[in-house]
Amino acid sequence: MIQAALDGLGSVLAFLYDVVPNYGVAIILFTLGIRVLLLPLGIKQVRSMHALSSVQPRVKAIQQKYKGNRQKISEETMALYKEHGVNPLSGCLPVLAQLPILFALFAVLQVPKGLTHIPVDSDLYAAIASQDTQFIGANLLCNASQAGRQVDVVNDREIPDAPDPLNCGSGIPVRVPYYLFALVMIGTTFYQQRQMQRASPGNSPQQQMLTRIMPLLFGFWGFIFPAALVVYWTTTNLVQIGQQHFLLRERARSETAGATRAGLVDGSSGKPAGKKAGALPKESVDGKRSAGKSSTGRTTRKTGAGRTGSPGSTRRPRASGGGGAQSGGQSGADRKKRRKR
């Protein structure tokens, strides 16, 4: 069954090479087809990350409640996951599902054993035999550790038409494409894992371990695997990054739309309703202004009753040429005398 599966992969690659006679492009098309088949797992992964994120506050509460009792924390956490139908390992499914494909493709792409899984009468078989497998300046039959030299091929099975030796170039400049392939493979693996971790901050310990180990593991593989396999995995990472970005953005939009319908979020700004930056409700502002006016009025009346010269006090007009209150009193006495007369 395993040999039949490997022969099937070789036939698919040969067919794609007939469509586009370029070894690197054929591998990229093969990768896109695999990603389409694994799309349901990618969707399930994003949903799992969302579910893990939603129950994370309760997980933290369990950890605080049973602090120091790891067994009880584990039991209560697993019971919580079971209650909400959360599988902490489902976020790792796309990566784990691709490992068998990766190893199977390695068996097909390696030289010379991989030739046994490719149809002998195909154009791809002839291209590999003649090493017509250049892509962006690199011979995809070679790996980064072989770059810049001629490599003898060990043909134990005496496979006919096996290329010998492998022409991996000469000198230092020809090594650059191989090293770039390996570095891009490491970088995209790391970014893809970090993207998953940011989307679900409460990742399970298993997924956090994968985030640390996978870039290192693929960094090692990037230097010992054929460059064709590095192209496959790098393309897989790029597609996965774009897919996760799109799915996570759609999930965020749906959550925002649901919160808007519930009146919790302002649909135009995306901010919490009633909490626009730098603004208060109109009723609150008017109330504060009214309170300010009333307070000012009371202060004025209180101050007016105080001593002369204080703010808000009222003063009697002084008579011209008079001497204050005494002058005002004398003028009043003179008016009384005139009335009596």
- Contact between 260 and 266 (Cβ < 8 Å): yes
Determine the pLDDT at residue 30: 94
Four-residue CA torsion sign, 304, 309, 312, 316: positive
Kindly state the DSSP code that residue 166 receives in the 8-state scheme. Answer: E
Determine the pLDDT at residue 207: 61
Question: Cα–Cα distances in Å, from 257 out to 262, 294, 308?
Answer: 9, 44, 65
Determine how many CB atoms are found less than 10 A away from the CB of residue 120: 12
- Contact between 223 and 182 (Cβ < 8 Å): yes
Residue recorded with tokens 């170039």 = 169
Burial 247-283 (b: 16+ CB within 10 A, else e): bbeeeeeeeeeebeeeeebeeeeeeeeeeeeeeeeee
- Domain ranges, ordered by start, for the chain: 2-254
* Helices and strands in the chain, H and E counts: 11, 4
Determine the pLDDT at residue 291: 46
Determine how many CB atoms are found less than 10 A away from the CB of residue 117: 22
Mean pLDDT, contiguous 10-residue spans, the chain (341 residues)? 90 94 95 88 74 80 86 87 75 71 88 90 93 92 91 84 88 91 89 74 60 76 90 91 80 65 55 48 46 44 42 44 45 57 52
Determine the pLDDT at residue 23: 95
In order, the DSSP letters of 73-135 are HHHHHHHHHHHHT--TTGGGHHHHHHHHHHHHHHHHHSTTGGGGGS-TTSHHHHHHHTT--EE
In order, the DSSP letters of 194-255 are HHHHHH-TT--HHHHHHHHHHHHHHHHHHHHS-HHHHHHHHHHHHHHHHHHHHHHHHHHHHH
SS3 assignment, position 167: strand
Determine the pLDDT at residue 16: 95
CA–CA gap between residue 297 and residue 283 (Å, rounded): 21
CA–CA gap between residue 70 and residue 109 (Å, rounded): 46
CA–CA gap between residue 243 and residue 220 (Å, rounded): 26
Determine the pLDDT at residue 247: 76
Question: Cα–Cα distances in Å, from 53 out to 25, 89, 93, 245?
Answer: 38, 14, 17, 17
- Start-to-end CA distance of the chain, whole Å, equals 142
| Assigned token pair, 116 | 């046994």
